[in-house]
Amino acid sequence: MTNIQLRLYMESTWLTALEIPYDDLALFSRKPRKWLDYLGHALTGTDGILSLSEEKDDVCDLDLPVAPGESDYFHAIGDAAYIDPDVLTMASTHSSQLRDTDLLANIQACDGGYCIYTGISNPDAAHIIPRAKGNDYIRTLTTRRRDSKGEQVVIEDIEDLRNVLPLNAIIYKELKLGSIAFLKTPVRSLKSVDVSDDAPGAGADPDGYRLTLHAFTRHAATRKFCAHGVGARLSAPPADTELDNRPPEVILTALYAGAAIEFWGTKTLRTALRNATREYYYPGGVDGKDADSDDSDGETKRKKDARIQRQTRARTDRWERRAGNAADGLGLAMALSSHYAQRQVRHTTGEKVEEWLKGNEH
């Protein structure tokens, strides 16, 4: 057995939260044990200790490598503020005052009008916490959870610029499918140099702000195409103002936890998290009914969402296999930038990418 198990203490027992294939560790961090410690914090929303057993005193040396088949235990310290396991996948029924704004123009102006990872022009205004969640949801999320230093940043409006990034439509599409997240470093014991080979090293600030894109997928071509491991090129806030529109850690960590659950989470974890969080995040219910109730066709919402995601992924994979021979990694995205940017002018939302992908299947 080569899966790494990350375990949490919930519902009066230790449960397996994430099952991570050993080979995946190197894709996400050069210091995998530090990264596992971050995942424990992301799921629980609180400080904690990573150990090799149910005993809190059996503390891990976070600099040591992880062994295949290892089980790690995250001991939460204080009251946990667990992540909503459906942070990426379900709409909220909270009341919201969503309104038309100049959001796209504002976010493009902040970062030069380009995707911060690929440099492609005319990016979409991509919401980190989905726009459909609404104002009440993001307010509840940022009020309940704190960052790794115990600090709190409350966001009242889902359209806040701190909840938006300029991304090309392909990356944005993957983000809405729950397969893209952004790791902000430094965070806890994890430094920028622990994340990627191209992170700042000697002669640079190893603790400088870095926003690394992580693609949660088994497909190497998809990871390269979506700029996996690339650090964002973010504009610095103006020198004459204290305003900083960079996404706060609490938002990014919520997204990261949601993607990790989608990719490696166990059914036991999802059930336990829903039991622990549903009354806070969905006091009026989800879409007027529970996610496990049947619709008119006898299909649960969760199963329907999963089926649609599998179908979309299959179409994307077919296109990527054709495109994979054209160029390598990020160079592929840049090679397509001229053609792709023209399409984005006409199709500025991620949903329109579907039409483009279909046109390339034949």
Q: Mind giving me the DSSP string for 54-116?
A: SSTTSB--TTSPPPTT-EEEEEE-S---PPPTTTTT----S-------SHHHHHHHHTTTB-T
Question: How confident is the model over 180-204, as a mean pLDDT?
Answer: 80
In this structure, whether the domain defined by 3-82 belongs to CATH 3.10.20 is answered with: yes
Residue 36 has pLDDT above 80, yes or no: yes
Q: What is the pLDDT of residue 245?
A: 77
Average pLDDT of the chain is 79
Quick one: what percent of the chain has pLDDT higher than 70?
Answer: 68
* Least trusted range by pLDDT, from 31-40, 86-95, 144-153, 286-295: 286-295
Is the pLDDT at 80 greater than 60? The verdict is yes
Q: How confident is the model at residue 122 (pLDDT cuts 50, 70, 90)?
A: confident
In this prediction, residue 317 has a pLDDT band, given cuts at 50, 70 and 90, of: low
b/e sequence 118-155, b meaning 16+ C-beta within 10 Å: bbbbbbbbbbbbbbebbbbbbbbbbbbbbbbeeeeeeb
Q: Output 238 or 42, whichever has higher pLDDT.
A: 42
φ/ψ of residue 81, rounded to 5: -120, 75
Query: Which residues on adjacent β-strands are paired with residue 265?
Result: 18
By the 8 A CB rule, do 163 and 136 touch? no
Quote the pLDDT of residue 90: 73
Cis ω on the peptide bond leading into residue 186 (within 30° of 0)? yes
Whether the predicted pLDDT of 292 surpasses 90: no
Comparison of pLDDT for 180 and 95, the residue scoring more: 180
Q: So where are the chain's domains? A: 3-82, 87-362
In this predicted structure, the answer to whether residue 290 has a pLDDT above a threshold of 70 is: no
Q: What is the pLDDT of residue 49?
A: 96
